[in-house]
Chains A and B, each alone.
Chain A
Amino acid sequence: MPATDTISDRAQEIVDEFALFNDWMGRYEHLMELGDDIPVIDDDDKTDDHYVHGCQSDVWIRADYDEDDNVLRFEGDSNAKITKGLAALVIRVLNEQPPEAVESAEFDFLDEIGLQDNLSSQRNNGLRAMIEQMRERARTFRN
């Protein structure tokens, strides 16, 4: 079944979750815990096709299209914990959403979860590259 909650519902859920922590260390620990729960990409799939260029660490994201449900499913991984946490956040909001929704998704919520400015989608090249790659995949599956 396709997800019934929208991308912005999930983004709000994440913002609320991070608001429970009142210091930056707590927020980063939470980010890294989310990274541990990422739908992890198989080592065999860590190929050039799924590699995200433009990050300081290695990042892979794989997108599969479920035609029956008209949704995208994502898997990812990174060898840096913060990057993996960020990938997990982005996947969490985009997973099992229709390609049109993925393509037009906004990531302003990343500025509201109390991480450094340099981890915002505007300032972080790696994060921007991840999001761009996911949108790109969504474009190819849009009907």
Chain B
Amino acid sequence: MPATTSPTTDTASFDVEAFRADFPALQQDIYEDTPLVYLDNAATSQKPTSVIDRLDHFYRHENSNVHRGVHRLSQEATDEYESARASMQTFLNADRPEEVIFTRGTTEGLNLVASAFGQMVVEEGDEILLTEMEHHSNIVPWQMLAERVGAEIRVLPVTDRGELQMDRLGEFLTEDTALMAVTHISNTLGTINPVADLIDAAHAIDVPVVVDGAQSAPHLSIDVQALDADFFAFSGHKMFGPTGIGILYGKYEHLDAMPPYQGGGDMIDQVSFDGTTHDDPPHKFEAGTPNIADVVGLGTAAEYIMDLDWEAVQAHEEDVLAHATEQARAIDGVRIIGTAPDKTSVLSFVFDDVHPYDAGTFLDRMGITVRTGHHCTQPLVKRYGLPGTIRASFAAYNTRDDADALANGLRKVKDMLG
């Protein structure tokens, strides 16, 4: 959909039209002649030409295994791989490149921490503190750990507006807490959690904190040192990068003390049948041939993001979200779920009298891709007593026009189904 220029979406330092033109998938029509309005960015983002070209270039010219060969191609691939690690270090503002571990995505990162770090710090009778708005990826690995060691899961509740009940933190974060895991931004509500405050409170009683950054990496500028996070996990595919690649950041002291997660090649120092000594971080956690091409592609995505004027991008994203919220709110029977003042890029809502599945199917036929259902946050959706929500989620390339298209679609849904 050709977006018109609106005064607030085009700032001198962020030209949304030029930015949008970088994404080939956004230029297509679906259902014959219906332009695509892509509003499922919290699930995955589209990819810019630079990332697509980078993958192509890697396979055409650089493909080789890393950390293994004396030959030139292998050395080049290794250089590119490690240079992507350096880009991710900068992206996160990590203290050292060894603190950046390549994973398959957020889910694998969280499982790695739960498994390798969890078993070190969580003991029988301990408590693991989560929040009511966690994605299943930040619930299930902890339940598995709790079951294994005989620990208990505690859950910090949310308010009706979709904020963490910070005034009740003291009830949940106690001397029994061994570890806390919390999402930076809710993928269902868009709430930005006060993660720095949570980390301060946890550290005051020596509780390490794992941050699920799946939704914040694409929208906030991340500084793991300022946050003082012990671990920070996110996925490449939600931040304009390839699928199948993600990052787990961990403080070096933790990574050094942790046992490996998987065994295999690339993670060892010496192997004999009497025993094996493993390599240092990060290689200790990167067993086997890694996803080299996608690592390199993720590095390009991070560089692409870091080249933007992030303040201008954020102002644009806030403007689009505010506009979309206002438009949706004006539609009779629409109720917004998640109205925290500190929000980003997610608009979840329900109709009084239209099932989310019906609304989602109709919107899809109009070219508007939203997601309906529980968004892998069943406890949260249940907390609000809903069968699911309709979720529109925005990226930097979305415009006020996209928000208007959504509102028009919703009005039609209302007419046909309400």
Interface, chain A (partner B; CB < 8 A): 24-25, 28-29, 32, 55-58, 79-83, 116, 118-119
Contact = CB atoms under 8 A, between A and B. Distances in A.
B386 to A, nearest CB: 12
A25 B31 CA distance: 13
A128 to B, nearest CB: 15
Given A25-B416, A83-B357, A58 B364 contact: no
Q: What is the interface of chain B mostly: helix, strand, loop, or mixed? A: helix
Contact of A57 (B355, B365, B416, B417): B355
A56 B374 CA distance: 9
Given A56-B356, A56-B373, A79 B416 contact: no
Contacts of B388: 56
Interface string B357-389: 110011011000000110000000000000110
A80 B357 contact: yes
A81 B365 contact: no
A57 B361 contact: no
A80 B361 CA distance: 11
Given A28-B362, A82-B358, A116-B31, 16 more contacts: A24-B365, A25-B416, A29-B416, A32-B417, A56-B357, A56-B388, A57-B355, A58-B387, A79-B387, A80-B358, A81-B355, A81-B358, A83-B357, A116-B361, A118-B361, A119-B361
Interface string B383-418: 000011000000000000000000000000000110
23 contacts: A24-B31, A28-B362, A28-B365, A28-B416, A29-B416, A56-B356, A56-B357, A56-B388, A57-B357, A57-B358, A57-B387, A58-B387, A80-B355, A80-B358, A81-B417, A82-B357, A82-B358, A83-B355, A83-B358, A116-B364, A118-B361, A118-B364, A119-B361
Interface residues of B, number: 15
Contacts of B372: 56
A142 to B, nearest CB: 33
A60 to B, nearest CB: 15
Interface string B325-367: 0000000000000000000000000000001111001101100
Interface string B88-120: 000000000000000000000000000000000
Nearest to A81: B358
A81 B364 CA distance: 16
Nearest to B412: A25
Contacts of A80: 355, 357-358
Contacts of B355: 57, 79-81, 83
Contacts of A56: 356-357, 372-373, 388
A80 B360 CA distance: 11
Contacts of A83: 355, 357-358
Nearest to B360: A56
A25 to B, nearest CB: 7
B408 to A, nearest CB: 14
Contacts of A32: 417
A106 to B, nearest CB: 23
